[in-house]
A and B are shown apart, each in its own frame.
Chain A
């Protein structure tokens, strides 16, 4: 059970943070109450667009002229060990061009992101620890390769609470399930209110997205109010009999909140309420509609939204990298629209946007008997790319670099833990101080690792 002390301690974290502890001491036991971070934050919300399966960096945001030159040749140097048998180098089937004032090169399959590339920081020097989807997804989402830890969204919601008590603090949108499913948005050892509420956004009607949003008995609002009134009378009597019980009170209040949620969520989760010209730009895929939903949720104070591209691992193009073009077609425009609309609604500066996947893909052809066609790329862990934008991120820059072929990050190497540390920093947290005490140990999202990537802070 969550006791007050445990709850407050991890959040306190701040040695020398005058006032925070006192403020917390007066706070209610409400685990989602809004809390101030360690220092003034740049961002208040996070939208994590997750292209599950592993997007190829050398075909999208990390151009490698050497691949064109050496297309079809073995990679120089000693034979590199990849997950499965890899063949020769393969050039990207797509052209790269410079875009924006920054002149950042972007592949032709992401024209809309390219048009807004000055809003993005392109981290080209990412690396991670495991070449298998499972552990790598777990690491990117929860900071550890093993399951059972809280996800980044859970950490953020734990740290900041939620601004809209009529909606969940952390929402996960995925038509179906990514690999490893619910363990990627788990609250781990934290109370489950911090975990992601998974919504299968293959439908658009709010009542199909949120369980129990509509009364199963079709009670009218008046009937429901009467029922709620009765419930409040009964609970009031009970509370006065047993005396002050703050935990009981919060359970009782959740009924009132639920009543409000019916209206609020019906509105928030209904993308049909957006004007046609807004909707049209997102109406290209489930992922696109998920981006629009993310916009509406953030607009209403939801703390963290994660949009997974789709069921399984769509970007895992082992046998034919050209499939990336059709995937990008269903992705690119929605990311662009999301950036525009966050800006027009005044939310861009306070929303941190992350775009990425569990790892990248090899510059070489994957050529193993597991595939029908030898035109794809295998998993690449030593080097890949992530995009960041919005709250507190310096736009129009690239950070770090991979080697000539895009295999390994060589300049300003950035680990997954560093991205987590940076995200928490932008949200106002020292990642070494945001802790949760469990089983006698203070746990962190970044475990004992992580450095804030200061060069990309605006």
Chain B
């Protein structure tokens, strides 16, 4: 049924109108097809799109004028003014009168008349009986009764068996035979990678294998949960959700968020110290508004909001991540499936619009002030240097231009520089005159003369003429600059995008401009132009040799001052990317169909109506982020969504497989009672994630072997009922790269700090690789790192030949194999068999069997580091090392 619905939903023009389609599926398929061929198709292809795009913004759940236009019943029932449609009678139907604008009062849509074709279609539709295939109402079970909106239920007494009792009950029901328990080596490798993203050391494996105590596995789990690497692994899952990035999407490269990593480190630390999840949530919405005592500790959590694109992104990501609700869908229309009216979207938007991004300094205000003052002092001096040099550059052009004729004649003669002529400038002239292909006519006489074998006299005369013309051109250009300077109110920086001036400018005629540019302009490399700079142009760096003693002294003194100030000033002070309360908190108006120029009623700042008993309280003081944070943390969805995310990463799939969508269109839980049980326990435990991990990992279900079984596989190929352990076919980017560095003994396990790009000399955990929204690293993409422009609830895991190339050919894998070889030589001595055993222990938590040992021995039999490296590279590329089972 679900599968059918999916295929079916794609059919209509409106991809997400599933409720109607669901309803349609309850009638015999043949009937639909027959009907669809005529009126039904007409409705779907012609009429529904009009209703959706023109009417639904105001006439579904919002019910302006008391009217809904999303079902035939609603149309016939009508609104305050009466029935909207009388089937078969266009002229008597209010809907038609309103769109034809013949009704005295009702003229719809209010934004302007519909195109005639659309009006005609509506008329035709009503005349043909206003056929509306199926019974298409808003989701019948879409209200507050929907399962995920219900309050959490205390588990029944039957739950004493914990997780396993729920899972076993399903096995029984489905007649599934569970897989046997995984062996200890498999288990410790699985749990180590699960909790820390790193394989266990051979010593840890042996300790567990030989531990005969009843709580041997519990000890392993506790040790791993106490490891700082636990937070690095689970923090990264969270960062996928938070669309974490070290910069914001921008034109060329990211706009840097130089301190975003402080948010990343805070997340890692929150997992490591088992910060209660409700506080973890609140911190990422309203840390600045929490009780004073908590603020210091939790403020970095606001990075979640500060790395947002804008307030719309904040609404979308906040609701998806914490509530598993797609509130973003309600930006332009009422949510098609969930009880989320457009107005709710704008209620939340108002909350975020009433807040502002902020930088929270981590040093005293005095230090900030001192730094800013010093910076200004340095910047002022830099500007003075730049202004002075710019002036000098302009004088230099003026000066050199007065020798233009001399340069041209000398260039013509092929002479060396002498007298008043500068060697480099002459060389430039020679180059310039060697190419007669110019984009303007002003050099034409010169080049025409050249073709006639002229005398020096003639050449000089032509050069003098050109010099006169060019000196005039310089004056014209200056006049243009002066006029623009005045037009800009005496401001500098005409081309400075930051000043965003829209004053009309004057400019030289374009062809004259080209001539001027060729001799005088600074370099210009933009928009398809690659202009290296004019003949007389010398850059600020090249100016030194043209300056006299006084001028040079002036520049050098200023430069020395800048250097001194900058030394004293030190590096930029650290700060947090956060949010603060806006200056004037206020409600925003509903943008009809998401159009900011077409505003409807005001949406009071408040929580989602579907998650409140009765009307939610409007917020009148402050932005409302504190109230929002509290409401989210209190919501039953917060607990359900998070336990499901934890389950998803331990078991491969969530109990609800659509981890960020707990709405109508999301999946239903495979084990609803289990989800309730876990959510309840989570809350009861004081929101402890570590307790949650412990409970899941110590279950029998987690510890099952991943071996498949033909009979069970037949019944449940997707392992929905958890009859076997989860097989992940390839480690994700982080676990893969970190495991390689770990087994080769090269991993730098420092926790936290600034990001650094992937590269040959970067041995830090992958969590600390620079994440860019504009230029995401190709190797990271190759191994399925998610697009950080959007929240990612899950990693796709793909394989392909480019990944194969990475394993077979990349310097990264080769270097790890080389380092691993050295490590083995050190730790296992000269004996090849001992080395191979050690390698298996490090990489696979087991020893080689006889065949594997022989394969290895044969491979390296000829001896030498090179063969060892090839052998070990194959082990690093092997399916067993690169996956977990």
Residues of A within 8 A of B (CB): 1-5, 9-10, 12-16, 21, 31-32, 53, 84-85, 87, 133-134, 146-148, 165-168, 177, 179-183, 186-193, 195, 197-198, 210-217, 219, 223-224, 226-228, 230-231, 233-235, 237-239, 242-245, 247-248, 250-262, 310, 312-320, 322-324, 326-327, 367-375, 432-435, 437, 439-444, 447-448
* CB < 8 Å neighbour of A372 from B12, B249, B494, B870: B494
B660/A439 in contact, CB under 8 A: yes
Contact with A along B498-522 (1 / 0, CB 8 A): 0111111111101001000000000
Greatest chain B CB density within 10 A among A235, A441, A442 is at A441
B209 within 8 Å of A by Cβ? no
CA separation between A212 and B667, bound complex, in Å? 41
Residues from chain B with a CB closer than 8 A to the CB of A181 are 252, 774-776
B874 within 8 Å of A by Cβ? yes
Nearest CB of chain B from residue A198's CB, rounded to whole Å? 7
Nearest CB of chain B from residue A396's CB, rounded to whole Å? 29
A315/B510 in contact, CB under 8 A: no
Residues from chain B with a CB closer than 8 A to the CB of A259 are 804, 808
Interface size on B, residues (CB 8 A): 119
B386 within 8 Å of A by Cβ? no
Residues from chain A with a CB closer than 8 A to the CB of B787 are 147-148, 183, 186-189
Contact with A along B842-885 (1 / 0, CB 8 A): 00000000011001000100000010011101110111101101
Greatest chain A CB density within 10 A among B14, B33, B729, B785 is at B729
B841 within 8 Å of A by Cβ? no
B778/A230 in contact, CB under 8 A: no
Residues from chain A with a CB closer than 8 A to the CB of B834 are none
Greatest chain B CB density within 10 A among A1, A223, A442, A443 is at A1
B527/A432 in contact, CB under 8 A: no
Residues from chain A with a CB closer than 8 A to the CB of B16 are 441-442, 448
B68 within 8 Å of A by Cβ? no
CA separation between A214 and B808, bound complex, in Å? 9
* CB < 8 Å neighbour of B488 from A3, A9, A21, A369: A369
Given contacts A211-B810, A248-B883, A374-B505, contact A227 B13 (CB under 8 A): no
* CB < 8 Å neighbour of B15 from A21, A183, A212, A442: A442
CA separation between A155 and B403, bound complex, in Å? 63
CA separation between A447 and B658, bound complex, in Å? 20
* CB < 8 Å neighbour of B801 from A12, A166, A234, A245: A166
A183/B774 in contact, CB under 8 A: yes
CB nearest to B528 among chain A residues: A314
Residues from chain B with a CB closer than 8 A to the CB of A21 are 7
A369/B802 in contact, CB under 8 A: no
A234/B495 in contact, CB under 8 A: no
B869/A211 in contact, CB under 8 A: no
* CB < 8 Å neighbour of B775 from A10, A182, A197: A182
CB nearest to A242 among chain B residues: B885
B249/A2 in contact, CB under 8 A: no
List 7 other contacts, CB 8 Å, given A224-B808, A373-B507. Answer: A1-B794, A215-B808, A242-B708, A258-B802, A367-B505, A433-B10, A442-B6
Residues from chain B with a CB closer than 8 A to the CB of A441 are 15-16, 326, 329, 661, 665
B523 within 8 Å of A by Cβ? no
Residues from chain A with a CB closer than 8 A to the CB of B9 are 435, 442
Nearest CB of chain A from residue B316's CB, rounded to whole Å? 9
CA separation between A101 and B620, bound complex, in Å? 70
Given contacts A317-B528, A323-B527, A369-B484, contact A2 B10 (CB under 8 A): no
CB nearest to B794 among chain A residues: A1
B838 within 8 Å of A by Cβ? no
Residues of B within 8 A of A (CB): 3, 6-16, 33, 49, 52, 249, 251-252, 309, 320, 326, 329, 439, 484, 487-488, 494-495, 497, 499-508, 510, 513, 524, 526-529, 652-653, 657-658, 660-661, 663-667, 706-708, 713, 717-718, 727-730, 773-776, 778-779, 781-782, 784-785, 787, 789-790, 792-811, 814, 851-852, 855, 859, 866, 869-871, 873-875, 877-880, 882-883, 885
CA separation between A322 and B527, bound complex, in Å? 11
CB nearest to A17 among chain B residues: B7
B487/A369 in contact, CB under 8 A: yes
Greatest chain B CB density within 10 A among A192, A242, A375 is at A192
CB nearest to B790 among chain A residues: A148
CA separation between A245 and B809, bound complex, in Å? 26
B503/A85 in contact, CB under 8 A: yes
CB nearest to B870 among chain A residues: A227
* CB < 8 Å neighbour of A248 from B8, B495, B505, B727: B727
CA separation between A318 and B706, bound complex, in Å? 62
Residues from chain A with a CB closer than 8 A to the CB of B814 are 216-217
CA separation between A246 and B877, bound complex, in Å? 18
Greatest chain B CB density within 10 A among A31, A247, A316 is at A247
- 28 pairs, CB–CB < 8 Å, chain A vs chain B: A1-B653, A1-B795, A9-B7, A10-B10, A13-B10, A166-B801, A189-B790, A190-B796, A198-B778, A210-B805, A211-B805, A227-B808, A230-B859, A233-B855, A235-B880, A237-B851, A247-B730, A254-B801, A255-B808, A258-B807, A258-B808, A262-B805, A313-B527, A314-B527, A367-B505, A369-B499, A440-B326, A440-B667
Give the top 10 A-B pairs by smallest Cβ distance, nearest first.
A258-B804, A148-B790, A440-B661, A247-B729, A191-B796, A369-B501, A147-B789, A314-B528, A440-B665, A257-B801
B503/A369 in contact, CB under 8 A: yes
CA separation between A441 and B773, bound complex, in Å? 24
CA separation between A375 and B529, bound complex, in Å? 14
Given contacts A53-B528, A227-B870, contact A244 B504 (CB under 8 A): no
Residues from chain A with a CB closer than 8 A to the CB of B803 are 251, 254, 258
Given contacts A216-B811, A255-B808, A258-B805, contact A192 B784 (CB under 8 A): yes
B494/A369 in contact, CB under 8 A: yes
B510/A375 in contact, CB under 8 A: yes
B796/A255 in contact, CB under 8 A: no
Residues from chain A with a CB closer than 8 A to the CB of B809 are 212-216, 258, 262
CA separation between A192 and B806, bound complex, in Å? 16
Residues from chain B with a CB closer than 8 A to the CB of A262 are 805, 809
A3/B527 in contact, CB under 8 A: no
Residues from chain A with a CB closer than 8 A to the CB of B885 are 242
B880/A234 in contact, CB under 8 A: yes
B8/A15 in contact, CB under 8 A: yes
CB nearest to B33 among chain A residues: A16
A147/B249 in contact, CB under 8 A: yes
Given contacts A13-B7, A53-B528, A432-B13, contact A254 B799 (CB under 8 A): yes
Residues from chain B with a CB closer than 8 A to the CB of A5 are 3, 718
A230/B855 in contact, CB under 8 A: yes
CA separation between A180 and B484, bound complex, in Å? 33
Given contacts A84-B502, A180-B251, contact A31 B798 (CB under 8 A): yes
Residues from chain A with a CB closer than 8 A to the CB of B852 are 234, 237
Residues from chain A with a CB closer than 8 A to the CB of B874 are 227, 230-231, 234
CA separation between A320 and B527, bound complex, in Å? 10
Residues from chain B with a CB closer than 8 A to the CB of A148 are 787, 789-790
B658/A439 in contact, CB under 8 A: yes
Residues from chain A with a CB closer than 8 A to the CB of B782 are 192
Residues from chain A with a CB closer than 8 A to the CB of B797 are 1-2, 191, 247
Residues from chain B with a CB closer than 8 A to the CB of A250 are 729, 799
Given contacts A15-B8, A441-B329, A442-B16, contact A183 B789 (CB under 8 A): yes
Nearest CB of chain B from residue A223's CB, rounded to whole Å? 7
B706/A242 in contact, CB under 8 A: yes
A239/B806 in contact, CB under 8 A: no
CA separation between A373 and B524, bound complex, in Å? 12
A2/B251 in contact, CB under 8 A: no
A211/B875 in contact, CB under 8 A: no
Residues from chain B with a CB closer than 8 A to the CB of A367 are 504-505
CB nearest to B333 among chain A residues: A448
Given contacts A230-B874, A242-B706, contact A433 B11 (CB under 8 A): yes
CA separation between A197 and B778, bound complex, in Å? 8
B504/A2 in contact, CB under 8 A: no
CB nearest to A162 among chain B residues: B800
